[in-house]
Amino acid sequence: MTTSKSSGSSASPSEAAERDDRRGFLTKLLAAVFGAVLITVPLVTGLMTFFSPLRRRGSGGSKDFIRVAFLDEIPLDGTPRRFQVIADMWDKWTFSPQQPIGSVFLARAEPSTDNLRCFNTICPHAGCSVRLADNGDQKEFKCPCHNSAFHLDGSVIQPTPSPRGLDTLEVELRPGANGRQEVWVRYENFYTGKAEKVAKA
Amino acid sequence: MSKFTDWLDHRTGYRALLHEALYENIPGGARWRYVWGSTLVFAFTVQLITGVFLWMAYSPSDNTAWESVYYIQTQMEGGWLLRGIHHFMAQAMVVLLGLHLMQVVWDGAYKAPREVNFWVGLILMLIVLGLSLTGYLLPWDQKGYWATAVATNLSGLTPAVGPEVQTLVVGGEKYGHHTLTRFFALHAGILPGLLIALLIVHLAVFRRHGLHAKQPITRPDQSFWPDQVLKDAIACLAVLAVVLALSFYFKGAELYAPADGAKEYSAARPEWYFLFLFQFLKLFEGYGETGEFVGAIVVPGLVMLVLFLMPLTGRVKAGHYFNVAFILVLLGGAGFLTYEAIKEDMGNQDYANAVWVAHQNRDLALHLAEEGIPAQGHRYQMRNHPKAVALTTITETCFACHGYSDSQGHGFVLGDRSAAPNLYGFGTREWVKGLLDPNRVDGPDYFGNTALKEGTMVSYVKEDMQAADSGYTPEVIEQIAVALAAEAGHEPETQADKELLEKGRAILSDEEKCAQCHKFHDAGSEGSAPDLTGWGSREWLIGMISNPNAERFYGHVFSSDPSSNQQMMPAFGHVEGADFPTENLSPEVIGYMADWLRGELLKRPEKESAGAAQPEAAPAADGENAAPAEDPTKAN
């Protein structure tokens, strides 16, 4: 508050005036400091709550493998199929047991083999939902938002706005009931728009 | 720098504005008595800041309002403090309003030419009271719900259009989503908007007429900055300190169990600063609808009219004296009525019991919320979770006959109104010692108000045990108490107690003594008195609650003469072919009732989620909510 100088009584040379001046300065200092404290307390308290999401781990995905499908549900000819990922979900206070938390494409890398590929359906460009498109003679993954396109092996089809291919997920086969093989996926989400695949915490 | 400020001043003229704002002349210099208006502006500023941050986390709907406030209070960093500051600053604001009003009237600052500003001030006061009223509902807990239900029902007394007014306020026929959205829009939008607009008018008009200086002026003038600002800031600091102290002491603002209009709730009271109105309405009891109308609408309306007319009545000296007297009587009367309301509640055991039950429900609600809240909202849990059913059964059914209170009168006190033993401390040494006390065994805490008052146990304690050669010395009583408490799971800890334990067990097994009637492990037999094997343990309690008429418990009393209905307690479990009342509660609920009696309902043993209605809440994989922050609202 530099303007306060203009009203000071520094013109008077007497000692009394100087004392007054010092007292005036102290008053101004205290008033300013106290005023700052008054506003800081509620503001900082509010900002603490505002920033609290940064100090918690988010819920980008489960760190455990989740059973997503049976092996015999995946087409033998290598066509990808979309599956929902079902898991317990928390949204702040709400706990929803066994809810869809996302989806994945599962496909056989070569026809009739058990060698599986798994992609997160979220586009690495800007996070839209990628779909399987039939492009006349061949199938490819296509994003409806900015036309990112991907080969069935997940690699980008140029030209594309996507900085990287579809995000692969770890997949595991586990023996299930009645001799059916179960497909388990470690479902994760990743930050979009970056060349590097970085998992959300 | 100065070049920049010169440029800015040329474009905006901010220096003149700042000068205008800061260098208001204060005739006679800065005074403490001028601080009240500034403290109110400060309080409102704090409410704006904290309110906006609360807004960012609040979700106004029937099944998310309580839940989001719960999340703010227990899960967000600093959330409890944010709520605390907002909650207590709101109350501070009401107090400061009273002081500001009193000071303005006392000093005659409402008189010409400041009439308009006085009227604006009164409207501001009504807006602040409206903010209090609407804000109280928003957490959507039992306390706010029932208090607001009363207030909105009173709005239905408005002449001619009462029901319509009420429907508009509530947003429909009954309380729900739109009650919250409407109250929230009022609380966070309309009322603060009006308040800001009128506050600007209030301050502008205040500056136009200048400060109403205290006469006579004996000291030189000073300017607002910095002398009065410093005094104002110190006063605001004091207000903030009080608010912070209250917030820390109470660990934020209280949050009761979620609103449930279908649940018994007898602890409904308005916030303390509306208690005088609540008490005032009692004066009109017995005059029916007219009385209620006069008390709730006509009289408060007339009071506001007198306040609004003050600048006119104050033109003559007598009028001013009348106004001062009126404001003193008004505030004094409100204070007296508040005191009366509190005094009445302090002497009202039913109210104290209701508050105690409300706190039990609150603790359970917060406990259950840690496991996660279903999408239906937490009220669903509080109605259906087996733990909640257990607590409701205890407070609404068991407590119809049993009390649950310690010797200091804390808890659910029935006293002489009880029809069954006091359950507080059942399973402890103290409880056993009371039972074996000839002065208490036929008192209200034990068999005094039951058919068993004339029973064998009472006469045994009062006569046989008192015989000089009975051998029941105080040491022996202590031994029995230690041994029985050990059956309930309170194992003795000291070596001395362990010695008592063996002796106590010997007496309990002595077929000349306790085992004469009671079974105790291998000694005695069932059929003449309750089995003391495992007495007070979870398993024993489950058996007793499920079917007190089993041979192991009080079957002997029941079967001796079914028509006399001596054994009044219903069987809470399912009893095949029962010819007595049964409640058919599930074993799980009865298990939780036993846990509650043993003070273990809110503990988290490993086995807890086994068989619970909720799927195992295991959010560890996901991190969020996995380890609920220490719950500050738990502290009483």
Average pLDDT over residues B436-442: 94
Q: Determine the Cα–Cα distance for residues B180 and B62; give it in Å rounded to an integer.
A: 7
- Given a cut of 50, whether residue A138 has pLDDT beyond it is yes
pLDDT digit string, tens, across residues A159-192: 999 999 999 999 999 999 899 999 999 999 999 9
Where are the domains positioned within chain A? 2-54, 65-186
Of A3, A45, A93, the CB nearest to B70: A93
- Given a cut of 90, whether residue A64 has pLDDT beyond it is no
CA quadruple B201, B133, B250, B350: dihedral sign: positive
Q: Is B160 within 8 Å of chain A by CB?
A: no
DSSP-derived 3-state class of residue A196: coil
- A172, A184 in Cβ contact below 8 A? yes
DSSP-derived 3-state class of residue B198: helix
Q: Considering the domain boundaries, does residue B240 fall inside one?
A: yes
Task: Print the SS3 string covering B361-396.
Answer: HHHHHHHHHCCCECCCCHHHHHHHCHHHHHHHHHHH
Residues of chain A found within 8 Å of residue B74, distances taken between Cβ atoms: none
- B381, B374 in Cβ contact below 8 A? yes
What are the helix (H) ranges across B472-537? 474-487, 495-509
Q: Which residues pair with A181 in a beta bridge?
A: A175
- B166, B154 in Cβ contact below 8 A? no
Specify the pLDDT at position B155.
85
Specify the pLDDT at position B610.
40
Q: Which of B256, B259, B211 is nearest to B232 (CA)?
A: B211
Q: Is A109 within 8 Å of chain B by CB?
A: no
HSE toward the beta carbon, residue B399, CA cutoff 13 A: 21
Pick from B48, B58, B76, B251 the residue to mutate for testing the A interface (most A CBs within 10 Å): B76
Res. A4 pLDDT band, cuts 50 70 90: very low
Q: How far is B86 from chain A (nearest CA, A)?
A: 9
Residues of chain B found within 8 Å of residue A95, distances taken between Cβ atoms: 371-374, 614, 617, 619, 625
CB-defined contacts A:B, below 8 A = 141
Q: Which of B468, B361, B339 is nearest to B66 (CA)?
A: B361
Res. A87 pLDDT band, cuts 50 70 90: very high
Interface of B with A in 20-39 (CB under 8 A): 22-23
Q: Do residues B393 and B519 both lie within one domain?
A: yes
Q: Are A48 and B230 an interchain contact pair (Cβ–Cβ within 8 Å)?
A: no
CA quadruple B16, B17, B19, B25: dihedral sign: positive
Q: Are A95 and B374 an interchain contact pair (Cβ–Cβ within 8 Å)?
A: yes
Tokens matching residue B269: 């009271």
User: Which DSSP symbol is given to B91?
Assistant: H
- A146, A124 in Cβ contact below 8 A? no
User: How many CB atoms within 10 Å of residue B238?
Assistant: 12
Q: Which residue of B has its CA nearest to A186?
A: B621
Tokens matching residue A27: 């008053």
Q: Do residues B375 and B303 both lie within one domain?
A: no
Q: Determine the Cα–Cα distance for residues B80 and B53; give it in Å rounded to an integer.
A: 12
pLDDT digit string, tens, across residues B166-224: 999 999 988 999 999 999 999 999 999 999 999 999 999 999 998 888 888 888 888 88
Res. B630 pLDDT band, cuts 50 70 90: very low
Q: Do residues B237 and B321 both lie within one domain?
A: no
Specify the pLDDT at position B317.
93
Of B19, B79, B233, the CB nearest to A35: B233
HSE toward the beta carbon, residue B5, CA cutoff 13 A: 9
Average pLDDT over residues B16-39: 90
Q: Do residues B366 and B338 both lie within one domain?
A: no
Q: Determine the Cα–Cα distance for residues A195 and B623; give it in Å rounded to an integer.
A: 27
Res. B517 pLDDT band, cuts 50 70 90: very high
Q: Do residues B372 and B403 both lie within one domain?
A: yes
- B28, B221 in Cβ contact below 8 A? yes
Specify the pLDDT at position A57.
56
Q: Is B237 within 8 Å of chain A by CB?
A: yes
Q: Which residue of B has its CA nearest to A98?
A: B615
Specify the pLDDT at position B566.
64
Place of tokens 């001013």: B320
Lowest mean pLDDT among B247-251, B371-375, B566-570: B566-570
Specify the pLDDT at position A49.
95
Pick from A45, A59, A98 the residue to mutate for testing the B interface (most B CBs within 10 Å): A45
C-alpha distance from residue B581 to each of B225, B569, B575, B576 (Å): 78, 8, 9, 12
Q: Do residues B342 and B368 both lie within one domain?
A: no
Q: Do residues B145 and B37 both lie within one domain?
A: yes
Q: Determine the Cα–Cα distance for residues B411 and B597; give it in Å rounded to an integer.
A: 13
What range does the domain containing B526 cover? 360-620
Per-residue DSSP letters for B510-576?
A: -TTTGGGTS-BTTBS-SSSS---TTTTSHHHHHHHHH-TTSTTTTHHHHHH-GGGT---PPB-S--T
HSE toward the beta carbon, residue A94, CA cutoff 13 A: 13
Tokens matching residue B382: 């509080």
- Measured N-to-C along each axis, helices B79-106 and A15-51 cross at an angle, to the nearest 10 degrees, of 140
Which tops the pLDDT comparison, B66 or A111? B66
Q: Do residues B249 and B364 both lie within one domain?
A: no
Q: Are A48 and B82 an interchain contact pair (Cβ–Cβ within 8 Å)?
A: yes
Specify the pLDDT at position A6.
39
pLDDT digit string, tens, across residues B539-569: 999 999 999 989 899 888 875 555 565 677 8
Q: Which of B198, B49, B183 is nearest to B120 (CA)?
A: B198
CA quadruple A144, A146, A147, A150: dihedral sign: negative
pLDDT digit string, tens, across residues A30-41: 999 999 999 999
Q: Do residues B506 and B535 both lie within one domain?
A: yes
Of B72, B78, B233, the CB nearest to A34: B233
What ipTM was assigned to the predicted interfaces of this complex? 0.84
Pick from B15, B624, B631 the residue to mutate for testing the A interface (most A CBs within 10 Å): B624
Specify the pLDDT at position B231.
95
Ramachandran category for residue B245: left, alpha or beta (phi over 0 → left; psi -120 to 50 → alpha): alpha
Specify the pLDDT at position A92.
92
C-alpha angle with apex B610: B629 to B264, nearest 5 degrees?
A: 70
CATH architecture label of A65-186: 3-layer Sandwich (2.102)
Q: Which of B31, B42, B34 is nearest to B238 (CA)?
A: B42
Question: Beta strands B404-405 and B411-412: pairing type?
Answer: antiparallel
pLDDT digit string, tens, across residues B308-342: 999 999 999 999 999 999 999 999 999 999 999 99
Q: What is the overall mean pLDDT for chain A?
A: 87
Q: Is B294 within 8 Å of chain A by CB?
A: no
Residues of chain B found within 8 Å of residue A30, distances taken between Cβ atoms: 230, 233
Pick from A93, A95, A186, A200 the residue to mutate for testing the B interface (most B CBs within 10 Å): A93
Number of domains in chain B: 3
Q: Do residues B234 and B201 both lie within one domain?
A: yes
HSE toward the beta carbon, residue A176, CA cutoff 13 A: 13
Q: Determine the Cα–Cα distance for residues B266 and B134; give it in Å rounded to an integer.
A: 21
Average pLDDT over residues B419-436: 95
Place of tokens 């296509």: A142
Specify the pLDDT at position B25.
87
Tokens matching residue B225: 């900055």
Q: Are A27 and B230 an interchain contact pair (Cβ–Cβ within 8 Å)?
A: yes
Q: Considering the domain boundaries, does residue B25 fall inside one?
A: no
Average pLDDT over residues B533-544: 96
Q: What is the overall mean pLDDT for chain B?
A: 90
Q: Determine the Cα–Cα distance for residues A30 and B234; give it in Å rounded to an integer.
A: 9
Tokens matching residue B447: 């068999």
Q: How far is A72 from chain B (nearest CA, A)?
A: 29
Specify the pLDDT at position A13.
57
Single out the residue in B227, B254, B281 at which a domain terminates.
B254
Q: Considering the domain boundaries, does residue B484 fall inside one?
A: yes
Q: Which of A86, A80, A82 is nearest to A99 (CA)?
A: A86
Res. B623 pLDDT band, cuts 50 70 90: very low
Specify the pLDDT at position B622.
36
Q: Considering the domain boundaries, does residue B352 fall inside one?
A: no
Specify the pLDDT at position B618.
36
Specify the pLDDT at position A1.
35
Residues in chain B: 636
Q: Do residues B234 and B194 both lie within one domain?
A: yes
Q: Which residues contact A148 (CB under 8 A, 6 or more apart)?
A: A123, A124, A125, A130, A142, A156, A160, A161, A162
Residues of chain A found within 8 Å of residue B57, distances taken between Cβ atoms: 49
Q: Do residues B465 and B543 both lie within one domain?
A: yes
Q: Which residues contact B154 (CB under 8 A, 6 or more apart)?
A: B292, B296, B297
Residues of chain B found within 8 Å of residue A55, distances taken between Cβ atoms: 77
C-alpha distance from residue B504 to each of B480, B509, B536 (Å): 4, 9, 16
Tokens matching residue B79: 């959330």
Q: Which of B418, A191, A106 is nearest to A201 (CA)?
A: A191
Q: Is B244 within 8 Å of chain A by CB?
A: yes
Of B226, B233, B375, the CB nearest to A96: B375
